[in-house]
Structure 1
Amino acid sequence: MKKKKTLILMAFVISLFTLTSCSDDDNNVVTPIPSNTIADFVAANSDFSSLGAALDRAGLTGVLDGTTAYTVFAPNNAAFDAFLASNGFANLEAVPTDVLTQVLLNHVVSGTNTSSDLSTGYIKTLAEEATTQNTLSMYVNTSNGVVLNGAATVTTANVDVDNGVIHAVDAVIDLPTVVTFATADSTFGSLVAALTREDSFTYVATLSTKTSPAPFTVFAPTDQAFADLVAELDGVNSLADIPTATLEATLNTHVVAQANVLASTLTDGMIVSTLGDNFTINTTNGATFTDLNGRTGNIIVTDVQAVNGVIHAIDKVILPSLE
């Protein structure tokens, strides 16, 4: 009898242990966490279906579905519709793949950049200039919200995803030309005024082209540089007082055609051949230049890269020979 009771007790213990083990196994089942990459977010949101289709066509969906962190400025469907209409494309399939790829990469920045990380100035996208493969710049203006290249506004910021952050924007950010940056960056307001002062000037049209004589290298004087020039020249009280021929010759002396000259290629004593007169680069005590009148100035910002050339900001207007 005692043996029978022992067997019954053992069976009860074994059954209890089995039930407990099963219960523990059930409790330890790990439910996979759904993936929420940039690509996942785009695919799950119908308002970004055009962006998703564009990424698929350009072969970039996989890039945004990995572990590398990116910041994406994401245009909605209405933004893509406006982009296609303004560029004469019937649909996404009509956009050349190489062009579409670079336009999309122009919305992507390396790393995670929340809105608090952004400040007024230039950042680099993943798009490239064709002759140098230098990555394109993007001008960020945070004075009133976040505006990109003077054209696209962030409408929803800081959408966290597994591999970075998304900021929704209300326009497709087209590939910037040197004119894009000149007009978007208020530092160059006087330069734009000079380039457009005369109806006969064709600078804007020329510097907007993406074919020959592009690419351009533009040494762009700041507003303060033009203010200093007005104070320097005799009988001149404003930009409007500079004789047209002198202004045109001066503007020509700031533009190099058919060359995307990066700061890394500038050397001491280098003669820069422009559409106007030449000037000399000096690199022994920082990046400076000397014009044909012996006037010197500083190169204060370098390698603002556009799709059709590069801008270097300078703090003094370069004058052609005044003799």
Structure 2
Amino acid sequence: MTSCEIQENFKYEPSGVDGVLDVTAWSFIQANDDFDQLERAITRTGLQNLYQDEERTFIVPNNTAFEAYLQSSGYSSIEDIPLPILRNMLRYHIVKERVIFTDPTIVRDQPLPYETENGQTLFLSRNNNYVGLINQGTARQWEIRTSNLEPTNGVIHAVDFIVYFSAPAIDDSEDPTLVRDTIYPLADSFVAGDSPGELYANTNYGANPLLRPKYSSPALNSAYDRFAYLMFNLDDFEKPGIVVDMRLRLAVSFTTGDGYPLNLYQAANNNWSESTITFNNAPGRVGNRISYLTTSKVDAFNFDITNFYKNESPSGRVSFMLESGAAPAGNKTDDLASKEHATLPPPMIIATLVTNQNVLVVETNEPISVSNGGSVVINTDLLELSGADAADIIYTVEVAPEKGWLIRGADIIGQGGEFMQTDLRSLSLLYIHDGESNGEDTMLLSARDRTGAEIEDIEVKINIQ
């Protein structure tokens, strides 16, 4: 008879990593080349004491994380990032408690909220393999690369990303003024180009239960490329109302979900049939990209075609072409259900229509107070509209603040940018002062909802103390 030995104090440690350090977090960062960019950021902001004094949990982005952030944000170097934004970013990466994933109170897939040095919440959890997760269950989550390093003043978790506040989803009630209508394709198929030694360009796949777009480099070179085609009759919509949202939904049979784009275009014409279309006779695409999404592990891909419908006012038969973008590592295939699939839902276009118009009202617009060079969370105690569901209220920045920045996540919301009532409810919106100006700052907003209700000239005052 054999028995299983219970390991009472399991500790997740990547191979070759000794979790216990004999130095402070700041000394560890200085001694490791992987964190050169972080060291520069800490030195520039003067936050060294935060990394070497009180016990904290430090989320430490490596050089890869900073390089990706600089590129996506349009900065050339750490020195180009406005100092208050950089300082706020680093403060969000420091949790005011000691959090280590050997702690038995941290249960698998159950995120716990922790306050950070910038005042926002960061959720920490772990998966079944004891890999740490940041902001699990929110709109944006990240996996920790190396967990449970223990400097003399807390815990270090290293990441490949700059992380930011991401709120749990808010469950809003369905707006009774909205109805949905759904149509299904008249025809769908994919086409495949020839590849060395294999001829597919004259083969028809109209009876195939899958739509299988695939990218080869360069695109459209007829070697390994595959494109999907779908034809709908928009006159099949039957319900009355004004379209406020329209989505093309494709059920996913398989995807690697590696984060490459899928691009949707309008096909040049409708002169094709499901039973005869091939790579050699398929219509090309016309105009700019209608919509796109970034692949991930989901049950269905949803393409937002609202602007296409509103701007182009199409009617009758419309054909779409689906093209895969470049994958980060090799050619990737997405298997999407065609209308011939036996078990998965067929492709569909779902239109959301409004039958009555709401009336928006400013319920709260309180002056915002912020310290010089500091930041403040803008929530519904400071700004709130009523008259529609929070998820349907969209604010537009007509005039941006001049003495600071409006921030959501890692993005600056400038003139013409948008945020939602749910961002206010979920504490996702920040104002960061530039640290150089005194007096009062203002921003001018307008707002609308999906029923077409609008409100203008919402002046928000910001007192700098």
- Name whichever structure is richer in strand by fraction: 2
TM-score by length of 2: 0.35
- Name whichever structure is richer in helix by fraction: 1
Query: Larger C-alpha radius of gyration, 1 or 2?
Result: 1
